[in-house]
Homo-oligomer: A and B are copies of this chain.
Amino acid sequence: MAVYFYGCVTLDGYLAAGDHSLDWLYETGSEEETGYREFYSRMDVTLMGRRTFRELERAGDPGAVYPDTENYVFTHGVLSCPGFTAVSGDPAEFVKGLGPDRNIWVVGGNTILAPLLDRDLVDCLIVQTAPVLLGAGVPLFAQGEALRRFRLEEVKKYGQFAELVCVRERT
């Protein structure tokens, strides 16, 4: 089992503006040139929070965005979207229950990522940083205080995004 975060963030560390809007991202330009397709082809499962799913719904057809993965949405509500399953509880326990040999992509948001970081379950952070400042919003990192060291494996420039591939150091 390997847990990945892969996603875009502003230079000051925000996933989204205070109103959960992703306008900053849509205006930064296309990601076509990134390694996204290769990344997605390796994933078996996606995990996301309720707000991330809502953004997907707002943008169109969620099933068309993640067609080849099992997709789980952490929500206390009901979901009626083919290909997506509502789950609840602790993301860390959920991930452990998925069994071995699965590549799990934490699409967002920080309420899913934080408990996984806190339990040291994140193996790889692939972050695309855009040269944009928001000054407020939804931060990517919301885990508790603890020094965690990854290894910077690769740095790439894709248009207006700097992609950092950070792999967890296991000691």
Q: Which of A's residues lie within 8 Å of B, judged by CB? A: 11-13, 18, 24, 27, 117, 125, 127, 129-136, 139-141, 143-152, 154-157, 160-162, 164, 166
**Given A11-B166, A127-B11, A141-B12, A134 and B160 contact (CB-CB distance below 8 Å):** no
What are 22 residue pairs bridging A and B, where the CB atoms are less than 8 Å apart in the complex?
A: A11-B125, A11-B127, A11-B150, A11-B166, A12-B140, A12-B143, A18-B145, A117-B135, A129-B164, A131-B151, A131-B152, A132-B150, A133-B143, A133-B148, A135-B141, A135-B144, A152-B157, A152-B160, A152-B161, A152-B162, A155-B156, A162-B162
Query: Closest chain B residue to A24 by CB distance?
Result: B147
Chain B residue with the shortest CB-CB distance to A164: B162
Minimum CB–CB distance for A142 against chain B, Å: 9
The answer to whether B13 touches A131, judged by C-beta atoms less than 8 angstroms apart, is no
CB pair A131 B147 closer than 8 Å: no
CB of A121, distance to nearest CB on chain B (Å): 13
**How many copies of the chain does the oligomer comprise?**
2
> Is the beta-carbon distance between A146 and B135 smaller than 8 angstroms?
yes
> In the bound complex, what is the Cα–Cα distance between A130 and B147 (angstroms)?
12
A117 CB to closest chain B CB, in angstroms?
7
Q: Which of B130, B133, B152 contacts A146 (CB 8 A)?
A: B133
Contacts of A18 in B (CB 8 A): 145
CA distance A139 to B151 in the complex (A): 21
Most B CB within 10 A of own CB, among A27, A132, A133, A166: A133
